[in-house]
Structure 1
């Protein structure tokens, strides 16, 4: 089970919430397992929702356009009702016998009560908490005028912001979520291995990026950012890959992310073609020491700023005394930046089950970047790394 129902129900009880509405693709995936085609294609104007009552285990009401309502059949959390809106047609030839799933789809497709997202969502909220109540609506996925209009349609209900509640719940991962993060990480690890395997003199950044993306896609994932730069180019890591060709003795920086089954991975490594320059090796050892300190010392109850401080101090003590960062990691799950953020002003506390993506990059003009990044799950008696790829500097001979 993906959803942390105990935590969700406690949160709803604490804040007196009678229903909860998701509006973003990430929260829809979290609550239902559905990766909305519509929200992916039309992230600014698409409308698809999951609506839950206080009894969250009873299942979600899934609201979406009639074109993609077939996706309710892919849900891996319980769907109590699928509600379609808008125009779309699925024809049924005479005398064609439908199987069970097609019969379910026909029933939903043929329900023509709702012309638009507002009317369908209003119906779902009234089903979840009839007679009025306090409804938390995720404000991140819809514009203010949509919320204003929804308030008019639900005049007997009190709408309050819901994004923060969902992010709070998602901070503590279920075992199923931890497995999904680890599975996504394996895809990225395998793709890094595949890319390292084609490293040789003359190979370009574009070719390395193409190989990484090919491997991710071949494993069923979707590349989301593929930052692979050669040598000093890594100081400008967010730029597009170039035709810069790899030479013996140079480093290749990887900071790569992908989504697999709705969950993110975000991993960083450095590989060198031939023996690394001594300074490169020393700097890499220092950032690796910082990551290791975080893995060893992170504990439930520790704040993001406390973990930030000990990680930065470890990098400085290990050989980069001037090391400075805006953050050294973040939670990860259905969003690449889930709670908590590991930065100097973060007072949010780690909890048992929080998955932290810890990272210690160091950028320098004329040099490039050394960087290592991995996810780990915080445990009551120690932490568990969710990657198996060696974290030492890759040396290709």
Structure 2
């Protein structure tokens, strides 16, 4: 199971929640294992919800449009119910003999209740679950304006409260299944980096390396989400689109790349040089690597994000970039690319056993370019375990 149900129960008890309603793609996936189609294709208007009741956390409800309700068959956990709202038609021929899956879909999408809207469907589910009149937490990040008030009006006596941060707190500690998925996603990104590096030669272009990275990631079953590969001094503006400027001997090659595999993100960075690296490139890379390694070594349960920030930045400064500055040097990662803990100067997020930290120490300079290393690690009782295998030293390509 992906969701950390013990933490969810604890948080719901602390907040006094009788039910929690997920509204975003990431949280619906976390609770049900369903990768909502409307949340991806219509992110501003598509509605897909998951509902968990405090005393039945392992069996969520799944609610989506009648068109997309067939996705309930993809659920990774047993569902307490599935409801489709709106209008969509699936016909049944007189002589059709349905498979078990088709019968389940027919029962839900044709014979099941027919609420007109997501709000109607949610109100009905909360009544059926016996929590109307209690306290319902809503993941407000994916709810349209006025949705919480409208739900309260539809269920008189029910207290409806925003609760997105409650589930983000739950997700800060990963289950073993989540760590496996983050590791697999990172492995797909690592394979993409290897493929791109294999194409690096004098005359190759950023666009060509981007293509090789993304093709390899797809071969590993993942979806590329961002592929930032820049040569030489252009890495100072690394978020720009790739160009056809040719790679030259002596150039640095900056990677900041990420993909999603089975619902979980990776976010990795590496730096290479084509031929013998410039002395400054090598010196500065050694410094950012030293800072990353110190952060990995000294992260521990109970440490706050701002404390790990200071440790990591100090590591870079002591290793050779005395003027090093950053707004953050890492973040949690999971079903979202940025999750608690945040490694920022003011972060009060507390590292716990089971937290996955994506630590990074990039440095950007006009006229120079960038050096960057980034990796995920999980905090475990016996110490911190790196979730990547790709060499983290400055890569020198012949």
TM over 0.5: yes
SS at match of 1:256: strand
How far is 1:53 from its partner? 0.4
Match of 2:384 in 1: 383
Deviates more, 1:20-29 or 1:65-74: 65-74
Contact 1:51/1:128 (<8 A) preserved: no
How far is 1:364 from its partner? 0.5
Match of 1:355 in 2: 356
Contact 1:19/1:129 (<8 A) preserved: no
Match of 1:107 in 2: 107
Q: 1:15 and 2:15 equivalent?
A: yes
Contact 1:323/1:362 (<8 A) preserved: yes
Match of 1:306 in 2: 307
State the alpha-carbon separation in 1 of the partners of residues 125 and 187 from structure 2: 38
SS at match of 1:356: strand
SS at match of 2:67: helix
State the alpha-carbon separation in 1 of the partners of residues 273 and 164 from structure 2: 43
State the alpha-carbon separation in 1 of the partners of residues 376 and 122 from structure 2: 36
State the alpha-carbon separation in 2 of the partners of residues 264 and 131 from structure 1: 36
Match of 1:65 in 2: 65
Deviates more, 1:234-243 or 1:123-132: 123-132
Instruction: Report how many residues are paired.
Output: 397
State the alpha-carbon separation in 2 of the partners of residues 116 and 122 from structure 1: 10
SS at match of 2:225: strand
How far is 1:112 from its partner? 4.5
State the alpha-carbon separation in 2 of the partners of residues 333 and 67 from structure 1: 28
State the alpha-carbon separation in 1 of the partners of residues 78 and 344 from structure 2: 37
How far is 1:249 from its partner? 1.3
How far is 1:366 from its partner? 0.7
Contact 2:21/2:137 (<8 A) preserved: yes
How far is 1:256 from its partner? 0.5
How far is 1:131 from its partner? 4.4
Q: 1:25 and 2:14 equivalent?
A: no
SS at match of 1:330: strand
SS at match of 2:141: coil
SS at match of 1:14: helix
Q: 1:51 and 2:51 equivalent?
A: yes
Contact 1:2/1:77 (<8 A) preserved: no
SS at match of 1:159: strand
TM-score using structure 1 length: 0.98
Contact 1:131/1:156 (<8 A) preserved: yes
SS at match of 1:271: strand
Match of 1:338 in 2: 339
State the alpha-carbon separation in 2 of the partners of residues 378 and 300 from structure 1: 7
State the alpha-carbon separation in 2 of the partners of residues 147 and 16 from structure 1: 17
Match of 1:316 in 2: 317
How far is 1:383 from its partner? 0.2
Match of 2:150 in 1: 149
Contact 1:256/1:266 (<8 A) preserved: yes
Q: 1:233 and 2:207 equivalent?
A: no
Q: 1:278 and 2:257 equivalent?
A: no
Q: Output one character per residue of 1:185-223: Cα deviation in whole Å (capped at 9) or x when no partner.
A: 011000001111111111111111111111112221111
Match of 1:34 in 2: 34
Task: Indicate the RMSD between aligned Cα atoms, in angstroms.
Answer: 1.0
How far is 1:142 from its partner? 1.3
Q: Output one character per residue of 1:263-304: Cα deviation in whole Å (capped at 9) or x when no partner.
A: 100000011111111111111110000110011110000000
How far is 1:346 from its partner? 0.4
Match of 2:133 in 1: 132
1:151/1:396 Cα in 2 relative to 1: closer, same or farther (>3 Å)?
Answer: same
Deviates more, 1:355-364 or 1:115-124: 115-124
SS at match of 1:378: strand
Match of 2:77 in 1: 77
1:194-343 to 2 correspondences below 5 Å: 194-343=195-344
Contact 2:254/2:371 (<8 A) preserved: yes
Match of 2:123 in 1: 122
How far is 1:143 from its partner? 2.2
Structure 1 unmatched ranges of 5 or more: none
Contact 2:19/2:131 (<8 A) preserved: no
Q: Output one character per residue of 1:140-170: Cα deviation in whole Å (capped at 9) or x when no partner.
A: 0012222222221122210011101100000
1:129/1:168 Cα in 2 relative to 1: closer, same or farther (>3 Å)?
Answer: farther
Contact 1:229/1:254 (<8 A) preserved: yes
State the alpha-carbon separation in 2 of the partners of residues 42 and 329 from structure 1: 30
SS at match of 1:189: helix
SS at match of 2:57: helix
1:131/1:335 Cα in 2 relative to 1: closer, same or farther (>3 Å)?
Answer: closer
State the alpha-carbon separation in 2 of the partners of residues 58 and 298 from structure 1: 32
How far is 1:342 from its partner? 0.1
TM-score using structure 2 length: 0.98
1:102/1:216 Cα in 2 relative to 1: closer, same or farther (>3 Å)?
Answer: same
Match of 1:2 in 2: 2
